[in-house]
Amino acid sequence: MPVSTASASSLHQIETVDIALGERGYPIRIGHGLLGEAASFDGVPKSAMAMVVSNTTVAPLYAPALITALRKRHARVELIELPDGEDHKDWATLNLIFDALLAHGADRKTVLYALGGGVVGDMTGFAAASYMRGVPFVQVPTTLLAQVDSSVGGKTGINHPRGKNMIGAFHQPRAVVADLDTLATLPERELRAGLAEIIKYGPIADAEFFGWMEEHLDALLAREAAALRYAVRRSCEIKAEVVAHDEREAGLRAILNYGHTFGHAIEAGLGFGTWLHGEAVACGMVMAADLSVRLGHLPAESAQRIARLIERAGLPVVGPRLGAEQYLALMRFDKKAEDGEIRFVVVDSIGHALLRGAPDAVVREVIARHGG
């Protein structure tokens, strides 16, 4: 289990979860008021220049404080604001980052800081992996979904019209700084979407955590600080352990995609940005739980528990009517597919997941029930 520690500064309590990847390991720092403190970025390489990559929604809220803190570490700090939204997670927007790096004369020591949600984090990481064949970057996630999932683990990339995150690279950040204060400005819909990725960790890895979520969901929805802090930390601990054992998704790490095979099909089928990623994953988890039951892995009552918690979180449990054949066609582009066979993350008990194939006929039954 990754080590989670707490250290006190004069102002804030910081909890740290370490990603154990040897020389490429890094800390995830979780706490309040971290974004504006230079000490939050201890261990990140110092350089003459840094580039903060954000979007037009987040930058006005948090970029000034981050830039002020970073000026204690970098002589020059530049800001680029990208358009906001999943529908901008593409080549054209990625090229805006490269344009800015070249225009400002960024070199191989320039550090990129991803200030925003999963879209900003994924694109900044991909730019960092690609620019001059690799420069350092730091994740500064400002959404709940990014803090518990997309900022951790080194997956970076952009979408293709035929599949989500199909173009990208593995490139680990030098640190993740999750300032819980940023969740105060998060729209309600975004908060609920983030809860989907937290809920995911229970069925795949921790039955006790799933029970804790059932008990504390109302506190999470009310943004109670203690509940959010624990949920973010425990989610990061689970993901850190999985990533440490399987950095490049050769096996175990695939379980983190529970609900994502159906969910990515929903996103691509509707058009990226129509449903939030967490909303699509939530519905995908319900569908994957039903598939688990139909394949004989999971008791029906356990699937019902999963669906009830997702519904209580205000997340969709019925998918869009794309048609079974479109679902299947889109899922064949999923990164877990092998030789055209769709591979699903299924659950055999709450707290344990497997990667399995499934007959198309059974998948059609799931789609017919939940969104075909």
Catalytic residue chosen out of the listed positions 174, 277, 335, 336: 277
Average pLDDT rounded to a whole number, residues 313-340: 86
Adjacent-strand bridge partners of 8:
13
Active site residue 12: no
The answer to whether residue 302 scores a pLDDT higher than 50 is yes
What are 209-236's pLDDT values in tens digits? 999 999 999 999 999 999 999 999 999 9
- Of 260, 294, 297, 343, which is the active-site residue? 260
Contacts with 212 (C-beta within 8 Å, 6 or more apart), sequence order: 230, 234
Convert 87-117 to b/e letters by CB count within 10 Å (16 or more is b). Answer: ebbbeebbebbeebbeeeebeeebbbbbbbb
pLDDT-above-90 percentage for the chain: 84
Read off the pTM. Answer: 0.92
Active site residue 264: yes
Closest CA to 230 of 58, 8, 13: 13
- Given 37, 81, 237, 249, the catalytic residue: 249
Q: Is the pLDDT of residue 148 over 50?
A: yes
Considering only 7-11, 118-122, 259-263, which range has the smallest mean pLDDT?
Answer: 7-11
| pLDDT value at 202 more than 50 | yes
Give the residue carrying structure tokens 């700090």. Answer: 77
Beta carbons within 10 angstroms of residue 248's beta carbon:
10
Cα(308)–Cα(304) distance, integer angstroms: 6
In whole angstroms, what is the distance from residue 74 CA to residue 66 CA? 12
Exactly one of 197, 237, 267, 279 is catalytic; name it: 197
Q: What is the mean pLDDT of residues 91-119?
A: 96
In this prediction, residue 5 has a pLDDT band, given cuts at 50, 70 and 90, of very low
Average pLDDT score over residue span 365-371: 92
pLDDT at 11 over 90: no
Per-residue pLDDT at 126 exceeds 60: yes
| 107: helix, strand or coil | coil
> Degrees (nearest 5) of the Cα angle 284, 319, 228?
50
Closest CA relative to residue 73, chosen from 43, 47, 52: 47
The sign of the CA dihedral 348, 351, 357, 360 is positive
Q: Point out the catalytic residue in the list 234, 257, 335, 370.
A: 257
CB 94 within 8 A of CB 120: no
Per the rule left: phi > 0, alpha: psi between -120 and 50, beta: everything else, 22 is: left
| Angstrom distance (rounded) from CA 25 to CA 43 | 11
Active site residue 208: no
Q: Which residue reads 């066979």 in tokens?
A: 341
- Is residue 160 flagged as an active site residue? no
Work out the percent of the chain whose per-residue pLDDT is above 70: 95
Among candidate residues 29, 253, 294, 343, the one labeled active-site is 253
pLDDT, position 253: 84
**Choosing from 264, 294, 336, 370, which is the catalytic residue?**
264
pLDDT value of position 6:
46
The whole-number average pLDDT for the span 149-170 is 90
CA distance 338 to 261: 13
Q: What are the φ/ψ torsions at residue 73 (nearest 5 degrees)?
A: -115, -25
253 is catalytic: yes
Pairing outcome for strands 352-357 and 163-170: unpaired
E strand map for the chain: 4-8, 13-19, 26-31, 47-55, 74-82, 111-116, 137-141, 155-160, 163-170, 176-179, 343-349, 352-357
Q: What band does 132 get if pLDDT is binned at 50, 70 and 90?
A: very high
Q: pLDDT band at 265, cuts 50/70/90?
A: very high
Please indicate whether residue 18 or residue 334 has the higher confidence score (pLDDT).
Answer: 18
The pLDDT tens digits of the residues spanning 17-51 come to 999 988 899 999 999 999 999 999 999 999 999 99
pLDDT of 243 > 50? The answer is yes
Active-site residue flag, 155: yes
Mean predicted confidence (pLDDT) in 100-112: 97
* 67 has a pLDDT exceeding 80: yes
Q: Which of 239, 294, 335, 370 is catalytic?
A: 239
Specify the DSSP class assigned to residue 341: B
Q: What is the mean pLDDT of the chain?
A: 92
Does residue 239 have an active-site annotation?
yes
Predicted confidence at residue 299, as pLDDT, reads 97
197 is catalytic: yes
Active-site residue, 104 included: no
Q: Is the per-residue pLDDT at 1 higher than 50? A: no
pLDDT at 335: 64
Query: Would you call 223 helix, strand, or coil by DSSP?
Result: coil
Q: How many Cβ atoms are within 10 Å of 370's Cβ, its own excluded? A: 21
From the candidates 155, 192, 200, 294, which is the catalytic residue? 155
- Give 277's contacts (C-beta < 8 A, 6+ positions apart): 86, 118, 145, 193, 263, 267
Q: Is 237 a known active-site residue?
A: no
Check residue 8 and give its pLDDT.
Answer: 40
Checking if the pLDDT of 56 tops 60, the result is yes
